[in-house]
C-alpha cells in the first residue's frame, strides 16, 4: 500500500446521491459487498438484502457514523490506513462510485483491491468522463479555460485525477484486470451538444456521457 493519503476531499461532506443507474452493475449473486467512499450509506441502503453483508469505508467521520446505521461494518478513515483491517479474498464486489478520481494514486488502489476480492469478485466503478461534451466544448474549446468548480461535475475542485473511457480501461488492464463492462452514464440532454457529436461521425461518441461505469475482474494467474 502507498504511504501517502489516498484521497483529497476539501468539503465537509461530499455530495452524494442514490445512484440508481449503478445498481445494474452490482452482481445479483454478490453477498459480501464493500463500498469505498460510502458517505452516509445512501447507495448501500439500495443494496440491502437479508443474505448480504455490507461493508463501507468513509473518510468523513460524520458521514461514516450515519453509514453505520445502514452497513454491517463501517471503517472510518483513509482507505490506505484501514486497508489492513479489511478481510482479504473476501468480497464479491468492491464499489467505487465517483471516488477513484479523488485518489492520488488510483492505479495502486485498483491493484491493491485485488487482494480483497473473492475468486469470483469484481470491482465496480463510476468515473467522470473528461471527454464529456460540456466539458470539452464549453470550458476548453470555446472558453479556452480549465476552471475547477466547487459544485461538482467533471471539473470538481476536489478531483485529483482525470480519465477518459480509454484511460479507464487502460488503468484496469495494466493493473491485471479484465474489463467486462465500460459504458456511459448520464448522457447529455442538450440538442446542440447531441448535434455536435453527430457531426463528428462517431469520433466523439463517448463525449455524450458525463460518467462511465466499469466492471472489472482480476485476471487469474
Answer whether residue 74 is part of any domain: yes
Question: Is residue 89 scored above 70 in pLDDT?
Answer: yes
Burial of 28 (0-12, 13-18, 19+ CB in 10 A): exposed
C-alpha cell at 91: 468480497
CA 1/CA 186 separation, integer angstroms:
33
Answer whether residue 109 is part of any domain: yes
* pLDDT the model gives residue 14: 45
Question: Is residue 195 scored above 50 in pLDDT?
Answer: yes
Answer whether residue 48 is part of any domain: yes
Domain range enclosing 99: 20-127+161-185+211-218
Total count of domains within the chain = 1
* pLDDT the model gives residue 77: 96
101 falls in which pLDDT band (50, 70, 90)?
very high
Answer whether residue 142 is part of any domain: no
pTM for the model stands at 0.85
Answer whether residue 198 is part of any domain: no
Distance of CA 25 to the CA centre of its chain: 12
203 falls in which pLDDT band (50, 70, 90)?
low
Answer whether residue 84 is part of any domain: yes
C-alpha cell at 94: 468492491
What b/e string do you get for 51-80 counting C-beta neighbours within 10 Å, with b at 16 or more? ebbbbbbbbbeebbebbeebbeebbbbebb
Average pLDDT of the residues of the chain: 85
Answer whether residue 117 is part of any domain: yes
86 falls in which pLDDT band (50, 70, 90)?
very high
> What CATH number is associated with residue 53?
3.40.50.150
Answer whether residue 169 is part of any domain: yes
Amino acid at each position: 500500500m502507498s504511504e501517502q493519503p489516498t484521497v483529497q476531499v476539501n468539503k465537509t461532506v461530499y455530495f452524494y446521491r442514490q445512484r440508481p443507474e449503478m445498481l445494474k452493475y452490482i452482481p445479483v449473486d454478490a453477498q459480501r459487498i464493500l463500498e469505498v467512499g460510502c458517505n452516509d450509506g445512501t447507495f448501500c441502503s439500495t443494496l440491502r438484502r437479508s443474505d448480504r453483508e455490507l461493508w463501507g469505508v468513509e473518510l468523513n467521520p460524520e458521514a461514516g457514523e450515519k453509514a453505520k446505521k445502514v452497513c454491517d461494518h463501517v471503517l472510518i478513515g483513509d482507505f490506505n490506513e484501514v486497508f489492513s483491517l479489511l478481510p482479504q479474498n473476501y468480497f464479491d464486489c468492491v464499489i467505487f462510485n465517483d471516488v477513484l478520481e479523488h485518489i492520488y494514486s488510483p492505479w495502486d488502489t485498483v491493484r491493491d483491491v485485488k487482494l480483497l476480492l473473492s475468486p469470483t469478485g469484481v470491482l465496480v466503478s463510476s468515473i467522470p468522463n473528461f471527454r464529456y461534451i460540456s466539458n470539452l466544448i464549453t470550458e476548453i474549446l470555446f472558453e479556452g479555460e480549465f476552471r475547477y468548480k466547487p459544485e461538482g461535475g467533471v471539473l470538481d475542485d476536489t478531483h485529483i485525477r482525470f480519465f477518459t473511457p480509454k484511460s479507464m480501461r487502460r488503468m484496469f488492464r495494466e493493473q491485471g484486470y479484465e474489463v467486462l463492462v465500460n459504458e456511459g452514464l448520464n448522457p447529455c440532454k442538450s440538442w446542440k451538444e447531441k448535434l455536435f457529436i453527430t457531426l463528428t461521425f462517431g469520433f466523439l461518441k463517448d463525449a455524450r456521457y458525463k460518467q462511465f461505469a466499469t466492471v472489472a475482474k482480476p485476471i487469474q494467474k
